[in-house]
Structure 1
C-alpha cells in the first residue's frame, strides 16, 4: 500500500463521527463531575469527619465531667470535718492553724489536687495546703471569686479561673462550713486541668474549651490560650475583669472567620501565627454544669483533599473508559479496513521486493569492487612497507661501507705480510714457522668471511613468519655487525641477558635489524660524551620479555619524544641518516605484537624499551643443556 493510501485510510479513521460523539459525551460527563462532584463529595467527607468529631467531642466532655465528678463532693466532705469547724471557731489558735495546714497538705497530696484552703466570711484565707511555699494562699483575700460568694450564700461554688497568686489555671469547688445553721467559712478545692489538656495534643483535631464570654482557657494549641473566638467587646472584658478570671493575663481576639457549608456544617477559618490560614469543621457541646462550651475543630484539608482525589479518580475512570471505547472503535475500523489494506500491501510488497533486490544487487557489486580495491591497496601498502624496511637496511649498510673497508683492509694487509714471511721462511727451510703464518692467514680469512656472511644475512629480505628465537643468538649476530662501530667509537658496551636463556616469538633477522638501529643510535649519541657507556639488558616476566638499551648521553628532549618514531625524522646532521631507522624498528616491534617506547632515565641518558611475547624453551635446547648441568 502506498503512503498516500495509508494516509487517506488513517484520516478516515481519525475523523470517524462515532469518535466525535464519544468525545462529546466524555467531556459532558467530566464537566458534570467537576462542577457537581466537588460539592457532593465534600459534603460526604465532611459528614464522615463530623461523625468522627462527635465521638471525639463526647470523649472530651466525658473526660471533663469525670474529672469534675471526682472532686466535686470532696470540699463538702472537708467542710463537715470537726477539726475544720473547730479551726473556724478558733482562727487565732496557732497550734490549731499549724495542725490544719499540715492536714490540708496531706489530703491535697493524697487527692492529687492542686490546692486546698479555708476562707473566712471576709474572704481572708486562714489555712492552705501550700502554706509552706512561695505562693502560699495564707493571708490572701479572694472574696471577688464567684466560687466564694456562691458558697458563702449556702450554695455550691464552682468557677474556672487563672490563679491570681499561683498564675496556674484550675477549676475551683467551694463548699460552705455550717456551724449552728450559719455559714462561718468556705472550704475551697482547686483542680489542675493540665493533665487533661495534655491528652489533646498530637491528634488530627483541636479541642478547645471556652467560658461564657467566648475566651479559650483550655486548648491543645498554646498560641490560642486566653484568645477570644467571639469579639472581645467592652462588656465582655468588664465581666471578665470583675471576677479577675484570668488575673493579669493578656486577652486578645483570635483572628477567625466563621462560615457554613450548605447551611449544615459550621466552619471556622483561623489565621495561624505562621501566616497560613487553616479551615476547621467545628462541633460544639455545652457543659451547663460548669458554664463551659467544649468545641472540637477538625482540619478540613484532609476531607477536601479526599474529595479532590475522588473527583480526580472519577475523571481518570471516565478518561480510561473513553480510551477503552476509542480503542474498541478503532479496532472495529481497522478490521473493516484490513481486507483492503492487505490487497494493496501485497502489491506494494511485491513491487518493493523487486526494487530492493535490484538495489541490493547494485550495492553488492559496489561492495565487491571496494573490497577488491581495498585488498589491492593493502597488498601494495604491505609491499611498500617491506621495501621501506629493506631500503632502510641498505641505507644503513651504505653508511657502514666506509668503516667496513678499514675492517677488511687490516686483515688483508696482515695476510699479505704473513704470506711474504711464509715464503722467506720456506726458502730458509723453516717450515714449522711458515706453517704457523699460513694458519694465521686462514684465521684472518675466516674472520672476514664471518663479517661478510652477517652483512649478507642482514641485507637479505627476512621471512615474515614468526618463530621461537633465542635472544642470545640474535644479540651475538647483532654484535658481529656493530662491533666495528663500537670499537671505532671507543664505546663500552655492557650486556646483561640474565642467568637463563630467553626465547621470543619474533623474526630473528628483523629483530636483529631493530637492535642494530637502536645500538647504532646509542653509540652515536655517546661517541662525543665523557661517559661512553651503553647498556643492553633483557629480563623475562611471565609471558613478557623486556629488552632495554640505555645510553649515557644528553637524553631525548620532551618536544622530540612524541616525534622520534615518525618516518624521516632525525636529529643527526645532513648525510648521516634518513630518519627511517626508528620508524622501521617501531613498526617491526608492532608486527611482533610488542611495543617500543623511549624515555629519559632518572640518572641521565635515554632508554629504549622493547616488550615482546615470551616463548617456551624448546625441548631440543633443554636436552642439550642437561649434560652441562
Structure 2
C-alpha cells in the first residue's frame, strides 16, 4: 500500500492513541509493583524498630523481681507506719528509677495501696493510690510476673507496667511495679521516612509517631471490649475514637491503607506481629514515592515511545518522499525516453557513420605504416628473389654436369627463400586487412610476436632494436588480435620516431601480467602535451610527419577492449606508454 503523507500522520496518530491507552491501562499495575517494592524496603526499618522496642521492653522485664528482693521493702510492708523507713524506701526507689531510667517504681501492699513510690516528690505521685483493679497487680499478687500497657490515669502519661510479687518467706506481702514511658520510642520514630504505630490485640493504637492517631481504634470495638477497658482503666475511655481507615491488600505482607482526616492520606502498610506481647507494629510509608516512581517509569516509556514514533514518522516521511521522487523520476524518465526515441534513428545512423570512419582511419593508419616500410619491403623481397635466381642457375649447371647432390642443395635453398617471402607476405596481409569488431580471449605474446614481425622490416631498413623478453607463462587478455597488433605497431613506430636523432635506438618492450609497456629514450613528452596527447589530430611531430591519429585510434581501440592506454615520462628519460588490458581465460572462444 502506498503511504501518502496524510495516511502517515493518521497512522502515527492511531499508534500514539494506542500507546496512551496502553499506558493508562498499565499504570495501576505499574504503581502496584512499586508499592510492593516500597513494602519490601520498609520491612527492613520496621524490623529494626521492632527489635528496638522489644529490647527496651525486655530490658525492664527482670527489674521488678530483682528490686522486690530488697529486704527494706519487706520491712516496710510489715511496718507501713514507720515514717523513717517510708522515707528511706521512697528515696531508694527514686534513685533506682533514675538509674534504670524508669518513669516510676512503686510498692503496693496486698490491698493494692501504694505505700512507697519513686515519684513521691512529684504532684502526680502514685503514693496513696490503690491499683487493685489493675491486671498486672492481680497477676503479681497471685505470684506471677506480669506486664501490661496502660494509659496512666493519674499522670496522664502512656506507660508500660511490669510487676512482681514481694515475698516474705513463702508469703506474698506486696507487689512492686515498674513503669516506663512509651513516648520515648515515639520521639525516635519521628523524623523517619515512614510513620510507625503499635496496636494491641483489639487493633487499638496506643503508640504512634503521629500523636493524632493515639487511642484510636482501627476497627469498631465491641461493647464487651469497651467495658473491659473501662474496668481496667487501661485507656481513657472518653478519648477512644475510631480511626477512619480503609485497607486494601497488596500481597501477603503489605496493604494499602487510606486514612481520612483533615486531609486524605494514603500509605503502604507493612506490619510485624509481636506474639509474646500480643502487639502489632506497623510501618506506614507514603504512597507518593511509589506513585512518582510509576509516573517516572511511564514518562521514560512515553519519551521512548515518542522517540520511536518520531523515528518511525521520519522513516515513513522519507519513504514517502522517496516514493514521490521516484514517481517524478519515472515521469521524467518517460518523457525523456519519448524524446530520446525521436532521436534514436538519427543517432544510430550517425554512430554507424562514426564506426565506419574509425575503421577507415585505422586502415589508413595501417596503409600509412606500410608506406613508411615500403623501402624495407622492397629490400626484403629483392634479396630473396636475387638469391632464388642465383640458386636456380647453379642448380641447372650442376644438373648438366651430373652433380645431382649439389643441385638438390640449391633447390632446398630456393624453397627456404620462398618460405621466408611467404611469411613476410602473411604478416603484411594480416596487418593490412580490416579487423572485425568482436573481442575475445587471446595470447598477448602471440600478438606481440606478430607486431614485431611487421616492425622488423623497418628495423632492417632504418636500424634500431627491440629489447623484449617474452613472459615465462602464457598470458591471456581480452581484445582483438589485429586491432591490438595495430596498437603495438603504432606505439613502437612512435618510439622509433622519438629516437630518430639518436645513434642507438632501443625500444624497451615489457609485459607484466596484463600490462604492456613501450618505452623510448627520446626527449620525452612536454608537460602541456600529456593532457592532449590522445586527442585526434594532435601531434608533436614536424609538419608532414604525421596526422596525429595514431595515438587517438590506439586509445579508442584499447578502450573498446575494456582497457586503458596512458602516457607518462620515465624518471630516467624518455616516454612510457602503458597498455592495461582485461584478463581472460583460455576456455573462452575468441571471435576476431
Q: Normalising TM by the smaller chain, what interval?
A: 0.5 to 0.7
Deviation at 1:86, TM superposition (A): 2.0
Deviation at 1:199, TM superposition (A): 1.4
Q: How far apart, CA to CA, are the structure 2 residues paired with 1:244 and 1:270?
A: 27
Q: Report if aligned partners of 2:268, 2:285 keep a CA contact under 8 Å in 1.
A: yes
Aligned counterpart in structure 2 of residue 288 of structure 1, from 275, 284, 302:
275
State whether structure 2 residue 163 is matched by structure 1 residue 174: yes
Q: How far apart, CA to CA, are the structure 1 residues paired with 2:300 and 2:63?
A: 59
Q: Which residue of 2 aligns with 1:334?
A: 321
- Over residues 206-246 of structure 1, what are the superposed CA-to-partner deviations in whole Å (9 max), with x where a residue is unaligned? 11111222221111111111111111332221111111012
Q: Which residue of 1 aligns with 2:6?
A: 15
Q: How far apart, CA to CA, are the structure 1 residues paired with 2:280 and 2:134?
A: 20
Q: Which residue of 2 aligns with 1:323?
A: 310
Q: Report if aligned partners of 1:34, 1:311 keep a CA contact under 8 Å in 2.
A: no
Q: How far apart, CA to CA, are the structure 1 residues paired with 2:167 and 2:251?
A: 56
Deviation at 1:87, TM superposition (A): 1.9
Task: Provide closer, same or farther for how the CA distance between residues 160 and 284 of structure 1 changes in structure 2, counting only shifts above 3 A.
Answer: same
Taking the TM superposition and a 5 Å limit, the aligned residue runs for 1:590-601 are: none
Q: Secondary structure at the match of 1:130?
A: coil
Q: How far apart, CA to CA, are the structure 2 residues paired with 1:64 and 1:242?
A: 27
Which structure has the larger Rg? 2
State whether structure 2 residue 299 is matched by structure 1 residue 312: yes
State whether structure 2 residue 75 is matched by structure 1 residue 75: no
Q: How far apart, CA to CA, are the structure 1 residues paired with 2:58 and 2:252?
A: 36
Q: How far apart, CA to CA, are the structure 1 residues paired with 2:175 and 2:238?
A: 27
State whether structure 2 residue 285 is matched by structure 1 residue 298: yes
Task: Provide closer, same or farther for how the CA distance between residues 20 and 262 of structure 1 changes in structure 2, counting only shifts above 3 A.
Answer: farther
Deviation at 1:247, TM superposition (A): 4.0
Q: How far apart, CA to CA, are the structure 2 residues paired with 1:222 and 1:126?
A: 34
**Count of residue correspondences:** 331
Q: Which residue of 2 aligns with 1:258?
A: 247
Unaligned ranges ≥5, structure 1: 1-10, 346-629
Taking the TM superposition and a 5 Å limit, the aligned residue runs for 1:428-447 are: none
Q: Secondary structure at the match of 1:166?
A: coil
- Over residues 528-552 of structure 1, what are the superposed CA-to-partner deviations in whole Å (9 max), with x where a residue is unaligned? xxxxxxxxxxxxxxxxxxxxxxxxx
Q: Report if aligned partners of 2:97, 2:104 keep a CA contact under 8 Å in 1.
A: yes
Q: How far apart, CA to CA, are the structure 1 residues paired with 2:108 and 2:300?
A: 67
Q: Report if aligned partners of 1:76, 1:175 keep a CA contact under 8 Å in 2.
A: yes
- Over residues 564-609 of structure 1, what are the superposed CA-to-partner deviations in whole Å (9 max), with x where a residue is unaligned? xxxxxxxxxxxxxxxxxxxxxxxxxxxxxxxxxxxxxxxxxxxxxx
Deviation at 1:72, TM superposition (A): 1.1
Q: How far apart, CA to CA, are the structure 1 residues paired with 2:253 and 2:195?
A: 20
Q: How far apart, CA to CA, are the structure 1 residues paired with 2:251 and 2:298?
A: 19
- Over residues 331-389 of structure 1, what are the superposed CA-to-partner deviations in whole Å (9 max), with x where a residue is unaligned? 232234447779999xxxxxxxxxxxxxxxxxxxxxxxxxxxxxxxxxxxxxxxxxxxx
Task: Provide closer, same or farther for how the CA distance between residues 119 and 43 of structure 1 changes in structure 2, counting only shifts above 3 A.
Answer: same
Q: Report if aligned partners of 2:245, 2:258 keep a CA contact under 8 Å in 1.
A: yes
Unaligned ranges ≥5, structure 2: 333-592
Q: Secondary structure at the match of 1:15?
A: helix
Q: Secondary structure at the match of 1:199?
A: helix
Q: Report if aligned partners of 2:253, 2:271 keep a CA contact under 8 Å in 1.
A: no
State whether structure 2 residue 259 is matched by structure 1 residue 270: yes
Q: How far apart, CA to CA, are the structure 2 residues paired with 1:288 and 1:94?
A: 44
Q: Which residue of 1 aligns with 2:47?
A: 58
Deviation at 1:26, TM superposition (A): 4.8
Q: How far apart, CA to CA, are the structure 1 residues paired with 2:61 and 2:72?
A: 21
Deviation at 1:143, TM superposition (A): 1.0
Deviation at 1:149, TM superposition (A): 0.8
Deviation at 1:71, TM superposition (A): 1.3
TM-score, scaled to structure 2: 0.53
Q: Secondary structure at the match of 1:123?
A: coil
Aligned counterpart in structure 2 of residue 32 of structure 1, from 11, 22, 25:
22
Q: Which residue of 1 aligns with 2:203?
A: 214
Q: Report if aligned partners of 2:3, 2:320 keep a CA contact under 8 Å in 1.
A: no
Task: Provide closer, same or farther for how the CA distance between residues 267 and 340 of structure 1 changes in structure 2, counting only shifts above 3 A.
Answer: closer
Q: Which residue of 2 aligns with 1:442?
A: none
Deviation at 1:25, TM superposition (A): 4.5
TM-score, scaled to structure 1: 0.50
Q: Which residue of 2 aligns with 1:201?
A: 190
Q: Secondary structure at the match of 1:139?
A: coil
Q: Which residue of 1 aligns with 2:75?
A: 86
State the Cα RMSD in Å: 2.5
Task: Provide closer, same or farther for how the CA distance between residues 325 and 204 of structure 1 changes in structure 2, counting only shifts above 3 A.
Answer: same
Taking the TM superposition and a 5 Å limit, the aligned residue runs for 1:490-509 are: none
Deviation at 1:286, TM superposition (A): 2.0
